[in-house]
């Protein structure tokens, strides 16, 4: 079992930036496909972005439109989600997910393919 831990959530104002972090103490994030999802109150969980193991290729949901960036720091064994120009609609619980096996690029958005999930971190954006 791989436990994931997200951090960095909080209350910010519209237009602000925020960086979320995800770590996996029992296994290096460099050996897993990592992803970010979010779920607003009363909404379905949406895929945001994924970053592959090994050479870190990144994939994004179309709606991200350059506002969010995922990256990986191998030295710190941490995956990040940098969020810019935040809007009230970005208010949600943000989840980190991981899958040790490879995932086809066209399937990165499928949450059922990610075996491990963090508990989530709340991001609240005030108007």
Which residues 6+ apart lie within 8 Å of 89 measured at CB? 40, 125
DSSP state of 105: G
What is the rounded CA–CA span in Å between residue 28 and residue 38? 23
pLDDT score at 82: 98
- Residue pair 118/22 in contact (Cβ under 8 Å)? The answer is yes
What is the rounded CA–CA span in Å between residue 34 and residue 27? 12
What is the rounded CA–CA span in Å between residue 2 and residue 8? 20
pLDDT score at 65: 83
Low-confidence spans in the chain with pLDDT less than 70: none
Burial level of 63, CB count in 10 A (0-12/13-18/19+)? Answer: exposed
What is the rounded CA–CA span in Å between residue 35 and residue 72? 11
pLDDT score at 69: 98
What is the rounded CA–CA span in Å between residue 64 and residue 90? 11
């Amino acid at each position: 079992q791989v436990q994931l831990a997200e951090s960095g959530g909080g209350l910010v104002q519209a237009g602000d930036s925020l960086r979320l972090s995800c770590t996996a103490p029992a296994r290096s994030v460099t050996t897993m496909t990592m992803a970010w999802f979010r779920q607003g109150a009363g909404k379905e969980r949406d895929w945001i972005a994924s970053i592959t193991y090994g050479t870190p290729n990144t994939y994004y949901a179309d709606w991200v439109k350059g506002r969010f960036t995922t990256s990986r720091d191998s030295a710190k064994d941490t995956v990040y989600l940098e969020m810019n120009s935040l809007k009230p609609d970005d208010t949600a619980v943000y989840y980190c997910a991981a899958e040790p096996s490879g995932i086809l690029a066209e399937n990165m958005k499928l949450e059922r393919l990610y075996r491990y999930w963090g508990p989530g971190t709340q991001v609240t954006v005030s108007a």
